[in-house]
Structure 1
Amino acid sequence: MSHEKEVGVFGDEFQTVIEFDKHSEGSLTTHGTVNRDLASYSTEIQSEVMRRYRFIEWILKRVKGGWTEKNLNSLIRQAAIELKLEPPSCRTLARWWKSYSEENCSLMSLLPNNSNKGNRKQKVANDSVFFERAIERYLVPERPSIAAVYEYYSDLIRIENQSLVDGQIQPISYKGFYNRVKKLPAYEVVLARHGKYQADMAFDKIDVHTPATRVLEKVEIDHTPLDLILLDDELDIPIGRPYLTILIDQFSKSIVGFHLGFEDPSYYSVMKAILNAIKPKDYVSERFPSIEHEWYCQGKMESLVVDNGREFWSGSLEQACLEVGIHVQFNPVRKPWLKPLVERIFRTIGSRLIVTIPGKTFSNLLQREGYDPRKDAVMHFSTFNELFHKWIIDEYHYDSDSRKRSIPFLKWQEGVSVMPPIRYEQDDLEKLSVVLGVMAKRKHRRGGVHLHGLRYDSHELADYRRMNPHDTKVLTKTNPDDISSVYVYLDRHQRYLKVPCIDPIGYTRQLSLTQHRINQRLHRDYINQQVDLEGLARVRMYIHERIEREAEDLNRLHRSRPKRTTGGMSRLAKHNGVMSDSDASCVPEELPALNVKEPKKPQKALPDSDEWDNFISKLDPY
């Protein structure tokens, strides 16, 4: 038996959640489960859903009037060329749009009908020729000077004049040559000598980005390594320059979230920053009591403005953001003016906060002179984390910009009073962590799921394991802030199950994925320091040589003796007590002679080798 219920703010991202009774298939309960998302479908279905979305998005911006065959045919052909995707028919596209619009623009409405099936798969004199050859040498990426090119031009004419009897060619003066070069089309000169990007930057029209009209309509995100070397909290040693991933609201210029860590920019750091941005910031007052104000930024952003970094082009990022209603807007290559705020905030952080902290580094090596940031670093990571929170919340948000145009806090309140952003309820935050979690596929085998060097299992997962083939791969999602449990997608039930870590000592309690990876690396380094590689090498060589000597001795013995059978020898070794704590062998000891008269009746013979097994099998073990 099952029943359905609607999911709050995720009504346009998730299908209805099905709750199973305790007696349903596999004894799966509703506790700790979340309905399936797009990532749980096969790669082919995910690609098909994104193909349908690309066509709808492209046509929606250009169609005039209804979605009729007359309006759509030419647009579909143009879209297929630009998107480089297989075009649908106009009726199919109209059907996709009808389903997409009726379901409040939910990605899940674009699933194919067969998505639940399984397993398918200027005029010049006579020197014009020489001038043109000189210009060819000038318009090259090596960028020679005009003086050098004029020398080449003069040399060409001198060599040519040596072969002429009459009509000597007179080269123009350097000034005349210089003026001719300067009259060349400026764009073509910069294009040939500096490249297309510099040519476009110098001569094309500079567009301005469309400003946001409300809070969280557009949020910019980017990374940068901070010019600062920090110390480890426990070891007091330099641990390097941290990477800062930051999100800033275009309307209010408020910093809505960030992530600070030492890993290179990745999907993980982007997800951590996004989760920090959209969740309530209740942790601030508990962890940093010195902060006076509240970090007011939270809620559902409409568009996430990103550049062309590899981590932003991840299909998992765009897919996860679309599922929670966040549209990912990719900036054109090398057009930073379309994402101005996040580029400027990095300079602001460097000039107003980091510049006074010992341990500051310099991007230009010539600026360092005799300053060594590693020797002068005096600030721990936790201290800088507290100061960075305080600078954002208590200073930046309540200070005006350099032109005295606005204050982030007041601008945010102005936007909220007109159109407040959607806030996630507490019940939805767990589902949000699942959708934006770190995704991986692992084998579901005896002992559960092995992930991050840990083991995750539960009674519900064990029951589900009994109904599936051995070593089936399952989709897992990890909340990077808490690895004490993971979510495992159960294909048979089409939902996620929360599975705890098998952790008898409580190691993973309130442990983040970053902390766990650091612990793993430190443990590996410690073990490597404790291992005596030379000693182990000597032991292995001794074992190898001992085996070779033993084999040689036995071969020599076999060559000197007639071939003998080994039947019954294992029983004889058992009888003589051949074991690791004694020096016994299979050679029987000679018994002392007994001064006893021979009995009159004939003595019963001992069993031969064929009867030995039956003879000793009646002995009781001890």
Structure 2
Amino acid sequence: MMSRFSFKNGECLCLDGSVYRISQVIGCRVQLTSFDDASITARDIDDLLARFADGQLKFLDEKEVSIEQRDLEQSRTMERGLADFSDKIQRLTLRRYKLLHEICPDGRLTIPRAALPDILRSVWEKMEPAIRGERPPCVASFYLWRRSWVHAKFDVRALIDRWENRGQKPKPIPERLAELIDEGIEKIFLTPQRESLTETLDWIQFEIEKENQRRVPEEALPSVSRRMLKRAVARIDRYAILKARFGERYAREASRVYKKGPTCTRPLERVEVDNTPLDILVIDSSTGLLLGRPWIMAMIDAYSRMVVGMHISFRRPNALTVLRCLKHAILPKNYVKDRFKSVNGEWKAYGLVHQLVCDNGLEFHAKDVEVACADLGIHVIYCPTRSPQMKGRIERFLKTLNYGLVHLQPGTTFAKYETRHTYDSEAKAVVTLEALHEIVHRWIIDIYSVTFHRGILSIPKQKWDEGIATNFPKLPPSIDFINIYLGESKTRVLTKNGIEVNSLQYASLALENLRRRCGDVEVTVRSDPDNLGTIFVLDEEARQYVEAKCTLPEYAEGITAEQHSWMLRKARKDYKTSPFRHALLAAKAALREDTAKLIEAGNSTTAKRKGKAKVKRPKANRVERELMVQNEETRPELPLEPEPDEDKSPNSQQDDQDECVDVPLFPTKRAPISRDIPQQESV
């Protein structure tokens, strides 16, 4: 019942989390004695009244002064009011209250008992017909109402009938039967197998029958009904039941009441990011073949609920996807008008993010993402595992995107398989990837950003404009900073051919200067996956990145990494079916066969010499070896060996061989000897 308090001696109150007792009241000053350390504090009554109006002071009765109820948060409870009961109980309570207020408003009854029936009737007749009832109350009932009312310090709730306490109280059951019921609930019902109450009841009945076999018929235990078992289960805390049957995490989630998330004071102060597969099948624009369900990664501003960035692709989310989405969020969206003519509005969301809130996916824990965010001054906040409510804004947006847009497009797969029914998603699919980009852009810019949002009680675009009027978005010094820090980081070796990245060669004067100073050194390379025309190489000595252009600018400029990879795969595939490849394979096979023949001939020669004494083969001197080398190299050019001249004597031939001591460094090919031209004699 609601009690009434005032600043008088003996009253207890809770102030700033501590419990005090009013020990003395002197004029407008109140002396308070602490229950914790018996310290004495003096306060003004006006100050205490102001604290009471702010909810910082609360009066306590004797029961609430106990140690278990000193916690301020747990003690902020109120009992039911008269309005929480049924209309019939309200009418009966108001009838009693008006009778007491008319006859004894201060609780003192000065009317003789003999005159009380007439006074009750006269007051009863003045009441409204809807409240007074069929007949006036009796004197005995009036005395009971008056006693309860006065003892409750004139609280009207003391006159309420406690009809919920009516009925026969359950009879106490035997102690052994209660033990069997509790044991059955613990062993059968409160288990991870989640057995039903029927199985629990059967186990209890079986144990009762076993127990009765050891008892005399007069002391046999009664059977347990299903209603009795339900009452026993109802006495157990719901959290304990859920924890035993479904686990602690499920019990905590099922019993939790979610509060409002952290508040933001300006745009881009807190940006939440997440990804999900879109519920739609996309086809190829040229062949019409199914490509599957694309993934979308989106970032939403917690202050204005404005979508600041997104990225759609067929590849599962990775570190590169996060960097691309973050780059899209930072840069202005000037491409919308040129690329999508059907979009009417403008996408004005851009700027550096202060806090990036994400889950514990591997793509967010990648080193490239953490380093890039650190370079740009972005604080990455990881939510606890299995806690999607910590970034509920982006979770809600992705669901709204699927349910509010994607499910309305042809070829949608819907959110669940059972909701498709007879809808053939593959046969209905007609949306290409480019068309999907345009549809999503139109929905975000022309619909979502101008729709009233109950979470902020405003329109996202309007809230964004109001926020940037006083907190203008910040940008890095140039686009090169974004391309470097949000690019793909790799390690390559600088050689005389420059740097090779993605099977493309890059060179520049800065790289020549770097190689002149450091030689063939391993360097860090950052490339923009959306434009392979330029890379940036880290110069460790200068402590800065230098630019390098592709040696094929007409091919690499403006091409993405995915397009280049597709072209390489296509080139290799075309080469496999090319006739040049078949000729190459045939030439390699023929060469391998000739090599095998030479090896076989060498093995046969070795086998012939096997068994003979090993003779050391003599080596030719330098001059003889050079003559033999020239002879072997010029042999294919000569149809026949040159015949010696007949007019030369053996002595002259010996002289010629002795004089031929100067051998050229490089062998020269001799022309065939003609029979018609006479040869000169050696002098």
Normalised by the length of structure 2, the TM-score is 0.63
Are residue 554 (structure 1) and residue 602 (structure 2) matched? yes
Preserved contact between residue 216 and residue 421 of structure 1 (Cα < 8 Å) = no
**Could you tell me the percent identity over the aligned residues?**
27
Superposition pairs for residues 15-54 of structure 1, below 5 Å?
none
Of stretches 162-171 and 436-445 in structure 1, the one that deviates more from structure 2 is 162-171
Matched with 2:321 is 269
Are residue 494 (structure 1) and residue 530 (structure 2) matched? no
Aligned partner letter, 2:535 = V
Preserved contact between residue 300 and residue 421 of structure 1 (Cα < 8 Å) = no
Deviations 1:524-577 (A, max 9, x none): 454556699999988777655554443223322344468766756785464255
Aligned partner letter, 1:145 = S
Matched with 1:508 is 556
Deviations 1:461-495 (A, max 9, x none): 1221232264x322222223322111111111111
Q: Secondary structure at the match of 2:536?
A: strand
Q: Secondary structure at the match of 1:487?
A: strand
Distance in 2 between residues matched to 1:590 and 1:301, nearest whole Å: 86
Instruction: Please point out which of 595, 599, 602 is paired with 2:651.
Output: 602
Aligned partner letter, 1:249 = D
Matched with 1:378 is 430
Shift of 1:245: 0.9
Instruction: Please point out which of 515, 518, 528 is paired with 2:566.
Output: 518
What count of residue pairs does the alignment treat as equivalent? 489
Matched with 1:172 is 224
- C-alpha distance 395-171 of structure 1, shift in aligned 2 (>3 A): same
Distance in 2 between residues matched to 1:147 and 1:221, nearest whole Å: 47
Are residue 575 (structure 1) and residue 626 (structure 2) matched? no
- C-alpha distance 362-522 of structure 1, shift in aligned 2 (>3 A): farther
- C-alpha distance 143-551 of structure 1, shift in aligned 2 (>3 A): same
Of stretches 517-526 and 183-192 in structure 1, the one that deviates more from structure 2 is 517-526
Distance in 2 between residues matched to 1:276 and 1:386, nearest whole Å: 16
Distance in 2 between residues matched to 1:521 and 1:371, nearest whole Å: 36
Superposition pairs for residues 286-435 of structure 1, below 5 Å?
286-401=338-453, 405-417=457-469, 419-424=470-475, 427-435=477-485
Preserved contact between residue 131 and residue 153 of structure 1 (Cα < 8 Å) = no
The CA RMSD over aligned residues, in Å, is 3.8
Shift of 1:246: 0.9
Q: Secondary structure at the match of 1:362?
A: coil
Matched with 2:203 is 152
Where relative contact order (Cα < 8 A, 6+ residues apart) is larger, the structure is 1
Normalised by the length of structure 1, the TM-score is 0.69
Deviations 1:15-51 (A, max 9, x none): xxxxxxxxxxxxxxxxxxxxxxxxxxxxxxxxxxxxx
Matched with 1:10 is none
- C-alpha distance 593-407 of structure 1, shift in aligned 2 (>3 A): closer
Distance in 2 between residues matched to 1:469 and 1:617, nearest whole Å: 35
Distance in 2 between residues matched to 1:332 and 1:489, nearest whole Å: 36
Preserved contact between residue 442 and residue 450 of structure 1 (Cα < 8 Å) = yes
Aligned partner letter, 2:522 = K
Preserved contact between residue 634 and residue 669 of structure 2 (Cα < 8 Å) = no
Preserved contact between residue 140 and residue 192 of structure 1 (Cα < 8 Å) = yes
Distance in 1 between residues matched to 2:459 and 2:399, nearest whole Å: 18
Distance in 2 between residues matched to 1:490 and 1:237, nearest whole Å: 47
Distance in 1 between residues matched to 2:650 and 2:323, nearest whole Å: 95
Deviations 1:154-193 (A, max 9, x none): 4445556667899766663443233323322221221122
Preserved contact between residue 534 and residue 557 of structure 2 (Cα < 8 Å) = no
Shift of 1:414: 2.2
Q: Secondary structure at the match of 1:517?
A: helix
Which residues of structure 1 form unaligned runs of 5+? 1-121
Preserved contact between residue 355 and residue 380 of structure 2 (Cα < 8 Å) = yes
- C-alpha distance 136-385 of structure 1, shift in aligned 2 (>3 A): same
Matched with 1:141 is 192
- C-alpha distance 482-615 of structure 1, shift in aligned 2 (>3 A): closer
Aligned partner letter, 1:602 = N
Of stretches 520-529 and 355-364 in structure 1, the one that deviates more from structure 2 is 520-529
Q: Secondary structure at the match of 1:339?
A: helix
Distance in 2 between residues matched to 1:442 and 1:213, nearest whole Å: 44
Are residue 197 (structure 1) and residue 249 (structure 2) matched? yes
Instruction: Please point out which of 483, 487, 508 is paired with 2:532.
Output: 483
Aligned partner letter, 1:273 = C
- C-alpha distance 535-155 of structure 1, shift in aligned 2 (>3 A): farther
Aligned partner letter, 1:552 = E
Deviations 1:391-418 (A, max 9, x none): 222222223347994222222222233x
Aligned partner letter, 1:263 = R
Q: Secondary structure at the match of 2:324?
A: helix
Distance in 2 between residues matched to 1:263 and 1:213, nearest whole Å: 36
Of stretches 508-517 and 557-566 in structure 1, the one that deviates more from structure 2 is 557-566
Superposition pairs for residues 3-14 of structure 1, below 5 Å?
none
Larger radius of gyration, structure 1 or 2? 2
Aligned partner letter, 2:543 = Q
Distance in 1 between residues matched to 2:209 and 2:325, nearest whole Å: 68
Distance in 2 between residues matched to 1:539 and 1:217, nearest whole Å: 66
Distance in 1 between residues matched to 2:201 and 2:523, nearest whole Å: 70
Preserved contact between residue 323 and residue 486 of structure 2 (Cα < 8 Å) = yes
- C-alpha distance 146-552 of structure 1, shift in aligned 2 (>3 A): same
Are residue 206 (structure 1) and residue 255 (structure 2) matched? no
- C-alpha distance 619-452 of structure 1, shift in aligned 2 (>3 A): closer
Q: Secondary structure at the match of 1:176?
A: helix
Are residue 248 (structure 1) and residue 300 (structure 2) matched? yes
- C-alpha distance 410-465 of structure 1, shift in aligned 2 (>3 A): same
Matched with 1:98 is none
Matched with 1:463 is 513
Shift of 1:357: 2.0
Deviations 1:214-269 (A, max 9, x none): 22222221111111122233443222211111111222222112111122112211
- C-alpha distance 194-394 of structure 1, shift in aligned 2 (>3 A): same
Preserved contact between residue 434 and residue 478 of structure 1 (Cα < 8 Å) = yes
Which residues of structure 2 form unaligned runs of 5+? 1-171, 671-683
Q: Secondary structure at the match of 1:227?
A: coil
Are residue 215 (structure 1) and residue 215 (structure 2) matched? no
Shift of 1:578: 6.9
Matched with 1:32 is none
